[in-house]
Chain A
Amino acid sequence: EVQLLESGGGLVQPGGSLRLSCAASGFTFSSFVISWVRQAPGKGLQWVAAINNRGDGTYYADSVKGRFTISRDNSKNTLFLQMSSLTAEDTAVYYCAKRTSPLSPSFDYWGQGTLVTVSS
C-alpha cells in the first residue's frame, strides 16, 4: 500500500524557517517525481515544488522560488521542503504528492498533509 506521511509543520514567525519531511512507503520511491502542493485555509490547491526521481532536477512555483528548496533522500525514501523567509501567505496545509507515472503528470497518491502557520 502506497503511503506518504508528512511531518514538520507548526507555528513559525514571519521571516522564519521550517523544514517539512515526507516519508514514503509502498512503492519504489527512487523511480518517481514527487511534488509539494499546498492549500491555504478555505482556499484551493496550489502546486509548490517538484523534484525528479534522481534529485538533480527541481522545479518551483514563482511564489516560492528563491525561498523554498525541495530535496530528497532516496536511501531513506524521504522528501524534504526547506522553507525560509516565510510570510503569512505561506500559511497552508502542505501535501506531498506522487506523480502517477513518467507518462502521466498527474498525482495519484497524496499524504494527509501537515499544517504550517506563519504568525507572530
Chain B
Amino acid sequence: GAGVSQSPSNKVTEKGKDVELRCDPISGHTALYWYRQSLGQGLEFLIYFQGNSAPDKSGLPSDRFSAERTGGSVSTLTIQRTQQEDSAVYLCASRGGTDTQYFGPGTRLTVL
C-alpha cells in the first residue's frame, strides 16, 4: 500500500523557466489536491480534482499556474515563467471515501 508520492523531491530553477511537479496519489483515491507551503506560512490551497468533474481552480495565484490530472490518477502542476516568490514546498494530497486527506512528502522548489 504505497502512499502519495511526489517528484522531484527538490527542484532548483532559474527565474523565467517553466517547471513541472508530479503527484502520484494513493491508488483508488478519486480526489486530489495541491497546496503550497511557503516559509513560515501555513498551507495555501491551490487546486482540487474530484473524479471527472471540472477542477476547482479557485486557489491558483495567477495564470502562470496550471494543473492537469490524466486518467483520474497522476497529476502534474505546471508553473510557467517562474518567479522568486514561487519558491515554496508544493504538497499534494489525495482522498478516498472519507474526509481525510493523505499527503505526499512535497517538492521543494527554489527559484534563483
* Same complex: no
Q: Using a CB–CB distance below 8 Å, which chain A residues touch chain B? A: none
